[in-house]
Amino acid sequence: MYSRTLEIWVGIFVTLGFLALLLLTVKVSNLGALYSDAGYLVTAKFQNIGGLKVKAPVKISGVTIGRVTDIQFDNNTYKAVATLRLEPKFDKLPADTSASIFTSGLLGEQYIGLEPGGDTVFLTDKSEIYLTQSAMVLEQLIGQFLYRSAASGVDGNEKK
Could you tell me which residue, 25 or 67, shows the higher pLDDT? Answer: 67
Average of per-residue pLDDT across 141-153: 83
Cα–Cα nearest to 66, from 96, 41, 87: 87
- Higher-confidence residue of 152 and 79: namely 79
pLDDT tens-place string over residues 5-60: 899 999 999 999 999 999 888 777 666 555 567 889 999 999 999 889 999 999 99
Task: Round the average pLDDT of the chain to a whole number and report it.
Answer: 87
Condensed to tens digits (0 to 9), the pLDDT of residues 95-117 reads 999 999 998 877 778 999 999 99
User: Which of 46, 90, 86 is closest to 67 using CA atoms?
Assistant: 86
